[in-house]
Amino acid sequence: MPKIDLYRNVHMGQRARLFALATELGAADVSHSGAAAEHAARCLAMTRELREHADHEDTFIHQLLRERAPEAADALEAEHVRLDAAFVALDEQARTLTGTPSEDLPEAQHALYLALNEVISAYLAHLHAEETVAMPALWQYAGAEELGAVMAAFRASRTPEQAFTDLRRMLPALPPAPRVAIVREVMAAASHGQADRTLAAVSGTLSPDQRHRLYEDLGVPEVRAAG
């Protein structure tokens, strides 16, 4: 049985969306009406999401880590200092962009782009520490039942809407095998008669090729996913 990895899948989804956000912001034409506000809002939403994610890890994972591997926990705390500063700087640049005169927008856009990439740089280091220091420590000092209980407690804390959002953010970044395994589990847990609707909902953010492969792997007829 594969080891329970508390970080891997969600981190893959975060990386994919951070990289996409940076690419799209860099290439955006913010001179169009509402475009600057839209991209500023996307950056603010991202820092809000990453802060919430950090809170979830503190609540459900890192207490166990501090008990079993305090040195690994200390390594993560050191990453938070740079990360928090990067979040604050990005938020400030995003709020600045929306009030920038049109003639100054190119420079303000680039400043936001640089601030976003500083967040990405800091966040990648943080993810690396969690994946190569924290998770191996948990494998060494905590049993599979404890790790499973951590995962179960987090899932129980999410509303159905939040759980769907989590999946729709994560699934496009995963390879086919773990993607179909997660979706099978979600469909099995769905209410009676709701498996097809659940499948359509969670696959709504997949590309056409990814969605086709998912339905093929599940062995079910492909239907249009819910948007």
> What is the tens place of the pLDDT at every residue in 170-206?
999 999 999 999 999 999 998 878 898 999 999 999 9
Closest-CA residue to 57 (of 43, 41, 73, 69): 73
Q: What is the DSSP string of 156-176?
A: HHS-HHHHHHHHHHHGGGS-H
pLDDT band at 1 (very low <50, low <70, confident <90, very high): low
Q: Rounded to 5 degrees, what are φ and ψ at 223?
A: -125, 165
The pLDDT value recorded for residue 215 is 95
Q: How far apart are CA 43 and CA 49, in angstroms?
A: 10
Q: How far apart are CA 201 and CA 180, in angstroms?
A: 14
Return the CATH architecture of domain 8-152. Answer: Up-down Bundle (1.20)
Least confident of 51-60, 94-103, 150-159, 190-199: 190-199
Q: Sign of the C-alpha dihedral, residues 75, 62, 161, 207?
A: positive
pLDDT at 225 over 60: no
Q: How far apart are CA 211 and CA 183, in angstroms?
A: 11
pLDDT at 132 over 90: yes
Q: Which ranges in the chain are annotated with CATH 1.20.120.520?
A: 8-152
The pLDDT value recorded for residue 77 is 82
Q: How far apart are CA 195 and CA 134, in angstroms?
A: 35
Percent of the chain surpassing pLDDT 90? 84
CA angle, residues 188, 193, 199, in degrees to nearest 5: 55
Close Cβ partners of 8 (under 8 Å, ≥ 6 residues apart):
131, 135
The pLDDT value recorded for residue 186 is 93
Residues 193-225: b if buried by 16+ CB within 10 A, e if exposed: eebeebbbbbbbbbeeebbebbbeeeeeebeeb
Q: Which residue has the higher pLDDT, 23 or 227?
A: 23
pLDDT at 224 over 70: no
